[in-house]
Amino acid sequence: MERVPILKIGDILLVSIQLDMSDQTAVALQEDLAERIVATGCHGVIIDITALDIVDSFVGRMLSTIASISKVLDAETVVVGMRPAVAITLVELGLSLNGIRTALNVERGMELIAAAHADELDYQLDDDPDAETARP
Amino acid sequence: MTAGIDLGQPQAQSVRSDEDVVRVRQLVRAVAVAVKLSLVDQTKVVTAASELARNTLVYGGGGSVEVTVVDNGRRKGVQIVFADSGPGIADLDLAMTDGYTSGGGLGLGLSGSRRLVDEFQIETSTETGTRITVTKWSR
């Protein structure tokens, strides 16, 4: 079985799916990513599907599952690079990709993750009682 | 891989494993390109084929797929037959409902793939299994 490589770039894990995945490969990617998120402590996952010429219900479900798993592990997932024909087909198939953040390309995906992580840090600061008392 | 396809003959692919589902997708894409379907229509028919081939494997216990170029005099198209000798579908209306699944899937395979093709025909029996024929025509 082939495996999809996972690259670490700073605080982000980047997955660029370049092959026509069998269902087993998709499931393996799910597990590999969960392990890498925990091992690296990364706060963002970008899944680049530019090279995928279809997304069927199995791959769609895999993307949703990865988003849910990474959320539980304190990481944000963004799916980038969906082709127009794939988007049209997904909608007609009835797949809504609930809970998945998308961006047009890797660069915008990185911005989205940076923004989400900054929001979260702000929120944690607000929650910190010491931070509260320090304010005038 | 696609160079050796003789479009005058039906192309057969057995469906016994995950990798065979990938092969079905590649075969259907090659034929869809050859009959000059638009990119969106190629994507739709390959996606439908992926869903139905997976059903053949998971619910039908494996089977076979046959891809044929059809011509109605005005347009060309891709016709795909998915056949298994599995347990058949007990309640077809229910199985065709969005979101219904007897397995662990999303319940979009049958209902969703019907929306992606132009013609969809299903014959199923508890004795002989299930046979689904779909057609996508060029515009």
Residue among B42, B54, B116 minimizing CB distance to A92: B116
Query: How many domains, chain A?
Result: 1
Residue A63: its H or E element: helix A57-72
A80 domain-assigned = yes
CA separation, residue A45 to residues A69, A87, A133, B115 (Å): 11, 20, 35, 32
pLDDT of residue A128: 60
B35 domain-assigned = yes
Spatial strand order in the sheet of B119-125:
B11-15, B63-71, B76-84, B129-137, B119-125
CA separation, residue B11 to residues A109, B5, B22, B26, B117 (Å): 41, 8, 15, 12, 19
CA B128 vs. chain centroid, Å, equals: 18
CA closest to B111 among chain A residues? A93
Q: Which amino acid is at A27?
A: V
Question: Does the pLDDT value for residue A25 go beyond 70?
Answer: yes
To the nearest whole number, what is the mean pLDDT of chain B? 92
Mutation choice for B interface testing from A58, A90, A98 by most B CBs within 10 A: A58
Model pLDDT for residues A79-119, shown as the tens digit of each residue? 999 999 999 999 999 988 877 999 999 999 999 999 988 88
Dihedral of alpha carbons A65, A70, A72, A73, sign: positive
Query: How many domains, chain B?
Result: 1
Dihedral of alpha carbons B116, B78, A83, A31, sign: positive
User: Does residue B102 or residue B38 have the better pLDDT?
Assistant: B38
**CB-based contact A53 B43, cutoff 8 Å:** yes
| Average pLDDT rounded to a whole number, residues B69-74 | 94
pLDDT-based confidence at residue B3 (cuts at 50, 70, 90)? low
Model pLDDT for residues B109-133, shown as the tens digit of each residue? 899 999 999 999 999 999 999 999 9
CATH number for the domain harbouring residue A113: 3.30.750.24
B124 domain-assigned = yes
Alpha carbon distance B78, B70 (integer Å):
6
**CB-based contact A89 B42, cutoff 8 Å:** no
Domain with A45, as residue range(s), is: 6-134
Domain with B94, as residue range(s), is: 11-137
A29 domain-assigned = yes
Nearest to A105 by CA among A34, A14, A42, A32: A14
Question: Does the pLDDT value for residue A125 go beyond 90?
Answer: no
CATH number for the domain harbouring residue B78: 3.30.565.10
For residue B38, count other CB atoms closer than 10 A to its CB: 12
pLDDT-based confidence at residue A133 (cuts at 50, 70, 90)? low
A127 domain-assigned = yes
| Average pLDDT rounded to a whole number, residues B86-96 | 89
Is A40's Cβ below 8 Å from some Cβ in B?
A: no
Alpha carbon distance B1, B26 (integer Å):
9
A1 domain-assigned = no
For residue B64, count other CB atoms closer than 10 A to its CB: 19
Model pLDDT for residues B18-57, shown as the tens digit of each residue? 999 999 999 999 999 999 999 999 999 999 999 999 999 9
**CB-based contact B108 A93, cutoff 8 Å:** yes
